[in-house]
Amino acid sequence: MDQDLQTRLLSAVDDLFESEVAFLSELTAHPSTRGNEQSAQDFMAGALAERGLEVDRWQIELDKIRDLPGFSPVIGEYEDAVNVVGSHRSTTRKGRSLILNGHIDVVPAGPLDMWDSPPFAPHVDDGWLYGRGAGDMKAGLVSNLFALDALRHLNLAPAADVFYQSVVEEECTGNGALACLERGYRAEAALIPEPFEEKLVSAQLGVIWAQVHLKGLPTHVAYAGSGANAIEAAIPLIAALHTLEERWNAPGCRHGDYAHAHHPINLNIGKIEGGDWASSVPAWCVFDMRIAIYPGQDIDAAKAQIEEVLMAAARENAFLKNSLPEIVWHGFLAEGYALSDDTSATAKAAIGALDAAHLAVNDRALDRMAITATTDARFFGLYADTPALVYGPRAEAIHGFNERVELESLRRITQSTALFIANWCGTETI
């Protein structure tokens, strides 16, 4: 890239950074938990329209995506699941096309009294912007937008088509990104600025969600011995799932990117409920589980193993052997994805362009990391033959309390993204 253009782009990000932080604060104030993303998507659609992008806003229709690779099942229908895409159409199309993807949905805030300040009243303190979703991943959405703004600030635009995506459902299914593929949005590379410490994600795990339903025989607690306690019956099943977790963590089972990782596969029992009355032996119990899988690990085979260990444990239980649990697969059925396995010329070129951009901003090489979470990168990398680069700012407590993103890290990511766009797509005069 021309050194003068590089210098001017870095300065343009600096010139706009105060506005970028203000924009991020306003976006973070929208409590865009699942099913409540509409106001945040209104805000994003308005911002894209103001910038002259072609705005496409639509409600996800399950019938259009349920038979596509990567679909995750859901309980019930989507009522307010709306995606927003802003398209820049190049006049010259002399560069390489790009998807800038990010998710607008955030995880629940949890007990409000465990936050030092309200989760949807964002504020800046000591160089960090606080608020639910500030790091995961509204800062990334904003960095993508203001990287494009930096080009506009210089009266430039990408010399290739760019599709800016603000999607829902990343935190539970990924069906928002899948709906973008169904809608026809394709490009030669994708950039997803998830908050992973300014490192390039070389691999990500897949995730499986399930609900396990148990039923017992109700009786008064005075006669508990004659009833079956459905809540207590869950305990040996959870223990059996942990044995599967340890089996999958064995060194011989690991994908190469996780060869030296400590305990990459994690089981989480995220929710449990059951019973109707303190003095009645609970007749029912439901627990929700999440477990990770490696890149390349077959989902159907993993589901079969989960079912096998649950049923084997149930058959060893005096009550459960006569009332086997029901497993409901809902939410994530997400495959793992390893960018490191993509040896195509396109992937090498995209990674090289991001390496150069990061080096120019930070004066050091771009580090790689294999993460024990999942992102929407799998849709592009596995189902659209599109290398997906996950590279975003430093954030803390992204699913916990007092979530925050480091502002100087956000500045650097925006600068690197602007340089990457200029390098990958080329530039044309507005």
pLDDT in tens, 48-83: 999 999 999 999 999 999 999 999 998 777 778 999
Percent of the chain at pLDDT > 90 equals 90
Q: How far is C-alpha 312 from the geometric centre of its chain's CA atoms?
A: 33
Question: Cα separation of 201 and 341, whole Å?
Answer: 12
DSSP one-letter code for 230: H
Indicate if the pLDDT at residue 332 is higher than 60: yes
Instruction: Tell which residue, 91, 104, 239, has the closest CA to residue 171.
Output: 104
Rounded average pLDDT over 236-249? 97
Burial class (CB in 10 A: 0-12, 13-18, 19+), 232: middle
End-to-end CA distance of the chain: 19
Residue 237: which H helix or E strand, with range?
Answer: helix 230-248
Residue 220's pLDDT is 56
Instruction: Tell which residue, 182, 171, 12, has the closest CA to residue 85.
Output: 182
Question: Cα separation of 208 and 173, whole Å?
Answer: 10
Residue 390's pLDDT is 98
Strands 388-390 and 190-192: parallel
Q: Give CA separation, 394 vs 117, 128, 149, 352, in Å.
A: 21, 10, 21, 22
Rounded average pLDDT over 17-32? 98
Rounded average pLDDT over 208-222? 80
Question: Cα separation of 426 and 340, whole Å?
Answer: 25
Phi-psi region of 97 (alpha: psi -120 to 50; beta: other; left: phi over 0): beta
Q: Measured at the alpha carbon of residue 152, what is the angle toward residues 193 and 87, in degrees to the nearest 5?
A: 60
Torsion of CA 132, 135, 138, 140, to 10 degrees: 180
Indicate if the pLDDT at residue 217 is higher than 90: no
